[in-house]
Amino acid sequence: MSNPPEREQIESGAVDASRRTWLAAERTWLAWWRTGLGAAAVAVGVGRILPGLSGGGAHWPLRLLGLGYGALAVAVLVVGAVRQNRVAAALRRGSYDELSSRLVMWLTATAVALAVVTLAVVAAEF
């Protein structure tokens, strides 16, 4: 005997919600990747391309900033991978894994510091 229509709709809705949640987690992981790759591109631009375009003067500040953006890129990619594994494990358990506020603040502070120093170095025209 088949399930009543109401039960099929409830079960179908639960499956759809679960599928949407897994897909949202996957999109979030891909966003971590995009952010990491974006930071890597900025690292190349600031650390390698910009010094070649600038005139004379010291290139070390731009190279140092490029290394900083490169380190940020690595951190974002690693955090994204760890985060994806934790979220997937939580979804399998039927629970939730909250993103650490400390981690958010650390990544934000690092990105803001790099951006401010980059603006200062570019404005100073080394």
pLDDT, one tens digit per residue, over 2-20 is 555 555 555 556 666 788 8
> Is 43 domain-assigned?
yes
> Is 16 domain-assigned?
no
Q: Which residue's structure tokens are 């900033």?
A: 65
Structural domain harbouring 108: 27-124
> Is 78 domain-assigned?
yes
pLDDT bracket for residue 55 (50, 70, 90)? confident
**Is a pLDDT exceeding 70 seen at residue 38?**
yes
Burial of 73 (0-12, 13-18, 19+ CB in 10 A): buried
> Is 60 domain-assigned?
yes
Structure tokens belonging to residue 71: 């380190």
The mean per-residue pLDDT over the stretch 58-73 comes to 94
Domains: count for the chain: 1
Q: Which residue's structure tokens are 């070390």?
A: 60
Q: What is the pTM of this model?
A: 0.81
> Is 6 domain-assigned?
no
> Is 22 domain-assigned?
no
> Is 99 domain-assigned?
yes
